[in-house]
Amino acid sequence: MIQTITQTDLLRQLYKETSIDESYELENCIRQDENLKKEYLQLNEVKTALDSLILSPNDSTIENILNYSRQTKL
């Protein structure tokens, strides 16, 4: 049984890294505690925003790497 629920516990729940029993217990706690539910929903919003980011290197960074690779070629 979970004594104190931490942000780490909530993040593990969001990323589905909890056991079935732990997940069930966390879901019950989230339903019963408004503050915990609010924190869980905020973390979920952040996760959704981070998941939607498209990350790619700057063109100059790619060019620098290619130039370095050409210079160090054996």
pLDDT digits (tens, 9 = 90+) for 36-51: 999 999 999 999 999 9
Whole-angstrom distance, CA of residue 61 vs CA of residue 46: 28
CB count, 10 Å around CB of 9? Answer: 19
Distances (CA, A) of 50 to 16, 19, 53, 58, 71: 16, 24, 5, 19, 36
Q: What are the tokens at 28?
A: 């019950």
Residues of the chain with pLDDT under 70: 1-2, 74
DSSP E strands: which ranges in 1-74?
none
